[in-house]
Structures are given as C-alpha cells and as structure tokens.
Amino acid sequence: MATRIPWLKALLLGVALLAAGVLVAVGGDLLVLVLIAAVLAYLLFPLVNAMERRGLSRTAATSVVFLTLSLVLGLGAWFAIPMAAEQAAEWQARWAGGRLFTLLDRVERDLARVLPLVEVGDLGLSAAARATIADTQAHLLAHASDALSLAADLVIVPFVLFFLLRDGAALQKRLVALVPNRDFEFTMGVLYKIDAHLGEYLRGQSLIAVVVGVLTALGLGVLGVDYYLVLGLFTGVANFVPYVGFVISAALALAVSVVTTGGVGQLLGIVVVFGVVQAFENVVLQPWITARNVSLHPVTVLLAILLGGRLAGVLGMALAVPAAAIAKVVAVETVVTLRRFRL
C-alpha cells in the first residue's frame, strides 16, 4: 500500500491540473473577473483587518469598506458620466460633420512643412481615419451582444470582492492547514515574502498612479488640452503597466491634441509635461513610496510585460510584474531551502 501512495498523489495532482486547464479554457473570462476581484480584495484587506482589530466583526468591517468603496465609485460615476456623454456628443458631431477629416488634412500639411522628409499625402491620416471608422461601424452590431454579456459578467466582481474580503483570511488558513508538516515552514516563508513584496508593490503603485494621474491632468489642463481630466485618469490607470503605459498615455494625449486643435502647437508642451511627470515618478515617487520594490531587473520587467500581453492582453500586462515577483520569490526560496538541506 505504501508504494502506491506516491502514484496516487501523482494521479490526483494530474487530475487537478487537468481540471484547472479545462476551467481556464472554458471559463477564462470569468477567471479574469475573479482575478480582478482578488486584486481589489488584496488591496483592501489592511482596511478590513484594521477595523476588525478595533472591535468590529469581520462582516461589519467588510460591509463598511465595501459600502465606502461603492459610494466613492458611485460619486465618481455621477460626475464622470455627464462629462463623458457631453464629450461623446461632441466627438459624434465631429465625425458627422466631417470636421475631423479636415483637421487631419490640415495637420498633415503642417507636419509636411515641419518635417523635411514628409510630403503632403505621405502619412495618409484622413484615409486611415476613414478606414477605421468604416471598420468600426461594420463591427459595432457584431460586438453589441459581447458588450451586453460583459456588462452582465461585471456584476460578478462586487459579489466576489465582498466574499473575499469577508472570508479571505479564513480561506487562507484552511489552505495552509492542508500543507504537510514537512513543507509547512517553506510554505509560510514563501507566503510571507510574497505578501511583503506584492503588497508593497500593489499599494505603492496605486498611490503612484493617483499622483501621476493628478499631475498629468493638472499639466494638460494648464496647457489647455481638451479632455485633460479623462487623459489624466487614463494615464494614472495605464501607469500600472511600466514603460508601455507611459508611452501609450503620451501618444493618446498627443493624438487628442492634434485632432481637437487641428495643429501641432501643443505637442511640445505635452511632451514636456509627460517628461517632467515621468522624471518625478522615477526620481522621487518610486524610491520614496516603493523603496523595497519587487527588485526585478528592467529587462526582466519588460519581458514579463510582453509575455503578459501575449497571454492575457492589457490585464496580463498589468499583472505581469506582480506575477514575475511571485515567481522570483518562489524560485529564490526553493533554492535557499535546497541549499539548506544540501539537496
């Protein structure tokens, strides 16, 4: 019987891995939503734990944090939705009146005058915009049902978030209790270091995202760039993706400026704003807020982001650095344990 136990464990492990693979293949979208809820819960755990230490029950503390978050998001939507609707109507007027194509033609002429190697018509901005609009309109109806399905699926996030905040600590204890005694010390060491690295990274990046978003919005607002609040919000969120998020945000701000003004007069100012904010983040915010960051080489970070983008799109890029940090902790602790026991 004793010789069969390892084979039985291997069989059970294989069945578990196969079931996990089937679950990812069949319900990958739902797993992404659960992962989003898990990340939010991880960020909010310290608040719930602090309230619980002050005498509130776990359910009461979770309810207070959950309702506060819902109120903040609700107020943000209350102010943002009318602004978004107004801006959408303005953009619709630009599309319908054909003014956008006129502006693009003017921008192309301005760039041809500034850049000696560019001739009028070489860039084909208007043609590219017309092709994009035609392609978008052709696919709107095809993706309408997908949008409705996504809206329905997003309801899963708050439910999962609430139960993870309330029962996450108990669930973690139950999972740790399943670890064999011989692996308990190793498992607890890995979990502790993952929590130290990951918690600091996520909470630090959240604070940095807020600061970067506010500074970007202020800078673009001073320049008179349209939709500066939306661009600042987008920059803050995109900042969770190192390097790539900054480039995409800057390119989007430049494109919005060109389209809305019909010229290139704000481009230098926008480049200066993004350059100053990026320098402030790298020199001041990163060392101060995340002094003990995930300790990954920049090349490793970039490769992780590219791999995450290939596997799971934008969300994969955002979670690539934390995932790489977890993998590094597990690898380092495994090597240390093997050396300790001379295996």
Q: What is the reported pLDDT for 4?
A: 46
Burial class (CB within 10 angstroms; exposed 0-12, middle 13-18, buried 19+) of 269:
middle
- All structural domains of the chain with their residue ranges: 179-343
- Give the residue among 142, 125, 69 at the shortest CA–CA distance from 262: 125
Looking at residue 2, its pLDDT comes to 44
For helices 58-97 and 156-177, the axis angle rounded to 10 degrees is 140
Please report the pLDDT score of residue 214 as a whole number: 92
- pLDDT the model gives residue 87: 67
pLDDT of residue 3: 45
Q: How far apart are CA 182 and CA 331, in angstroms?
A: 18
Report if pTM > 0.75: no
Give the helix ranges, DSSP H, for 224-266: 228-238, 244-261
Note the pLDDT of residue 241: 80
Q: What is the pLDDT of residue 181?
A: 78
Q: How far is CA 123 from the centre of its chain?
A: 32
pLDDT tens sequence for the chain (343 residues): 444 455 665 666 677 667 666 666 655 567 777 777 888 888 888 888 889 888 888 889 999 998 998 898 888 778 777 776 776 676 666 655 556 666 666 666 666 666 665 555 555 555 666 665 555 555 555 555 555 565 666 677 888 888 888 888 788 788 777 777 777 777 777 777 777 777 777 778 888 889 999 999 999 999 988 888 888 888 998 888 877 788 889 988 988 887 777 666 788 899 999 999 988 887 777 766 654 555 666 777 778 878 877 776 766 777 777 888 788 877 877 777 777 765 5
> By C-alpha distance, which of 298, 293, 325, 324 is closest to 311?
324
